[in-house]
Structure 1
């Protein structure tokens, strides 16, 4: 995978930038550099009419002639904008040897920096880059943003710049300032500026708001947020808001990297996952972390895969927070059974096949073997016309098959194992109960994986729509007693 560019806004005020080329393209580049306060030097045998006007006005310097490496002596950046590919290559190589960032116009391979498409509203700039590979796409996005971003944003940026010191003096704590800005930007000031509020009125309005702010450290809080199964498109708007307001994010191991990228980049992130065979954070440790950061006045997001209240220990965590007088709220997420089934093309209920749904977990409070606890009503689970969704059950498939068959379930009962549901690497394995654990071993199923049992599971073969088609179970013995002779790999542990 190609690495993405590092976004960077360069301060070029009173710094020399060399532009090699004297035509229309070079002229456009010089114009942008002048707007940034740079000191452009133009190297070329001749100059366009616009460049000559700037030269006569004393705004640029001219290096007449063909490229000479000495032109680089004073340069902070270099732009090659000639129509000669050999000269452009020479400029790039010479700059690179001196560790000077260089850009060859319309040649992404010869660029150590790229000039993005820009939307500008006064001091506020939004830069869009495709890494040089799809400039027309960047321009298309810029046109869309031009219609979305109001001109008053430039005025707002000027107001906030003028009042920056006053805001920092009144609210020295970073968290307090962040919350003030959130209220300010969500309040009426942006709307008033669109109505041509003048600078004096805007400054007075902001000062009035500052005087009402209490500089004391606010009480902390915790938000339990469901992150869904992995696809960032399934994160709710409320969850996105909470992740972007968080000071601290305590996240499960199975929260996808794509979802975490939606959160505030400067928030403290602490992984508090649990798994068999790997270092785990105990529930008591998670409770202690929530309490510690909340008592520091932080906004804590407890980010959980799926939904906090479906096998996510959300209830235990709220009980702890309530006992310690920590304010909290809950933002539900799409639980794994709903998401994995949908992305596998499996309706959890169906008028012909399933009139009820059972959500079952293979984990209990203090162990990873809830299926062995003796509290499972296997007779009820073996009933017909229902769907079973078994969470965290990859390591317990032998037990599931054994107990369901003993309880009267049919050996030909369809199953579907959905691994990494909703993610790009999703796999679906289908078969029947008789060969369930052998199928999982054959296909080396790893956690996270959800087991769906019931007649509806067979619909995955015809209704799949996301990712690769389901993988059929291998032709294995339908007699569980013969499974030890298959030479299959050991069943992976749940994560």
Structure 2
């Protein structure tokens, strides 16, 4: 179940809690802290709930549950130990379009109460959709250690200054830079030291300072092979500081999800046969956004400097005086090999590795085939799915033995990773039979023979030819023999 995250303003709004035990008491306490007008319905109440009723903090409906208890309620919580009663509360609440939470029953609940890290007014909520509440609590414990308690005062200070910050910095890019400095610079440091007065004075001084016009810049960031966990920390920071993100078509949605929500995203994936025109368009976008004072992230799959044309883009930026930096990424050869259990080098099998691209006939013609065909080395072939037959023919023609192992890794490091293994002799046929599609990387050499034994991620390698679909099998015709017709006597 995927829940829609929502923070509800319950201040002065009626909420019903059905149940009078310890669990109901805990739910009522959290609702009171949010400013809700809480009514507790139950025949009996805990001593603490009774005290809250006497103090006028909580209203009490005695006796057995009635549908009228839901009148005027914005939310309801069923916190009894009677599942039948909880189900009835959930059913009647649903008929009245009142969101209901049934404690420890995700199926009956129309809203879930998350685990919370409270740095008010900054609040972090964690939910597993009711599937694994103990895991959500575990994540909460980890976040409690990561998020400093000074974040609460920092959020309050930011709220007090918000309107003045908008007036002082009407341009969005300038306002982002001010907030970045506010949240990471001297003001935040003073709050961590427990010096709120000095922090407020430093924030006032920052607001009075005449801003220096910021020049735009470009950061080339390697997004890695697709698994968001393989993005570097510097890459993550760049994505969260970006005003504009120009990303390749193969950058995964999981990586893009890590970027700041209000950054402009522009897909600039290149199409076959139009590379030069598309690269010119990318250059124009980089230049235009940087000259407008924006911080641009050029997000590339893998590593920008391994078949990513990052060098061409830096040459263009330098020629036009645009500041730049590079954040390397994990290139596909490293990631795919690791996730397929194939070491690129091995003392017994390969003392060198070559990165090769073979996406078209012209690129194949420029390669040193006698050198590539040598044994005891590993070939990592990028963008080669469409040319596997030509690759096979040339390697065999220059002496590579047909029994050389290969591992063809599709969607390496991603949840849908597939690994097809075999030998050079049947490489194109295996790829066709298993319908391997881009993005895929070919590892060819003695080390690929370790794929089946060392595999650890995803499904086991496919080491047999794929079965031919029944509709493509040749029709088997039976041999029909006719016996001679016998005449009656």
Q: Which residue number corresponds to residue 183 of structure 2?
A: 185
Verify the 8 A CA contact 1:171 1:215 in the aligned structure 2.
Answer: no
Q: Which residue number corresponds to residue 195 of structure 1?
A: 193
- The TM-score normalised by the length of structure 1 is 0.88
Q: Which residue number corresponds to residue 294 of structure 2?
A: 298
SS in 1 for 2:378: strand
Counterpart-to-counterpart distance in 1, 2:314 and 2:70: 63
Give the deviation of 1:295 after TM superposition: 2.8
* One of 358, 361, 365 as aligned partner of 1:369: 361
Residues 324 and 107 of structure 1, relative CA distance in 2, 3 Å threshold: same
Give the deviation of 1:38 after TM superposition: 1.1
Counterpart-to-counterpart distance in 2, 1:41 and 1:293: 55
Moved over 6 A (4+): 277-281
Which structure 2 segments of 5+ residues have no match? 474-489
SS in 1 for 2:419: strand
Verify the 8 A CA contact 2:115 2:127 in the aligned structure 1.
Answer: yes
Verify the 8 A CA contact 1:274 1:281 in the aligned structure 2.
Answer: no
Counterpart-to-counterpart distance in 2, 1:31 and 1:336: 52
Deviation string, structure 1 residues 139-184 (Cα, Å, up to 9, x no partner) = 2333333333333322222222222222222222232222222222
User: Does residue 89 of structure 1 match 2:75?
Assistant: no
* One of 221, 231, 234 as aligned partner of 1:235: 231
Counterpart-to-counterpart distance in 2, 1:234 and 1:213: 40
Q: Which residue number corresponds to residue 248 of structure 1?
A: 244
Counterpart-to-counterpart distance in 2, 1:213 and 1:418: 54
Query: Structure 2 matches for 1:43-442, cutoff 5 A?
Result: 43-198=41-196, 200-214=197-211, 216=213, 218-276=214-272, 282-363=278-359, 368-371=360-363, 374-442=365-433
Give the deviation of 1:438 after TM superposition: 0.8
Give the deviation of 1:36 after TM superposition: 0.9
- Greater shift, 352-361 or 392-401, is seen at 352-361
Residues 345 and 246 of structure 1, relative CA distance in 2, 3 Å threshold: same
Give the deviation of 1:347 after TM superposition: 2.1
Verify the 8 A CA contact 2:19 2:78 in the aligned structure 1.
Answer: yes
SS in 1 for 2:100: strand
Verify the 8 A CA contact 1:419 1:449 in the aligned structure 2.
Answer: yes
Counterpart-to-counterpart distance in 2, 1:336 and 1:38: 53
SS in 1 for 2:71: helix
Deviation string, structure 1 residues 1-47 (Cα, Å, up to 9, x no partner) = x3x22221111111111112222222221111111111112222333
Verify the 8 A CA contact 2:222 2:302 in the aligned structure 1.
Answer: yes
Higher-Rg structure is 2
Counterpart-to-counterpart distance in 2, 1:144 and 1:168: 34
User: Does residue 28 of structure 1 match 2:19?
Assistant: no
SS in 2 for 1:157: helix
Deviation string, structure 1 residues 315-346 (Cα, Å, up to 9, x no partner) = 12222222332222111111111221222222
Counterpart-to-counterpart distance in 2, 1:441 and 1:475: 9
Verify the 8 A CA contact 2:433 2:466 in the aligned structure 1.
Answer: no
Residues 371 and 165 of structure 1, relative CA distance in 2, 3 Å threshold: closer
SS in 1 for 2:354: strand
- Greater shift, 19-28 or 387-396, is seen at 19-28
Verify the 8 A CA contact 1:340 1:421 in the aligned structure 2.
Answer: yes
Deviation string, structure 1 residues 335-368 (Cα, Å, up to 9, x no partner) = 11122122222222233332322211123xxxx4
Verify the 8 A CA contact 2:154 2:183 in the aligned structure 1.
Answer: no
Q: Which residue number corresponds to residue 8 of structure 1?
A: 6
Counterpart-to-counterpart distance in 2, 1:144 and 1:345: 31
Counterpart-to-counterpart distance in 2, 1:416 and 1:77: 56
Verify the 8 A CA contact 1:43 1:67 in the aligned structure 2.
Answer: yes
Which structure 1 segments of 5+ residues have no match? 477-486, 489-495
Give the deviation of 1:89 after TM superposition: 1.3
Q: Which residue number corresponds to residue 455 of structure 2?
A: 464
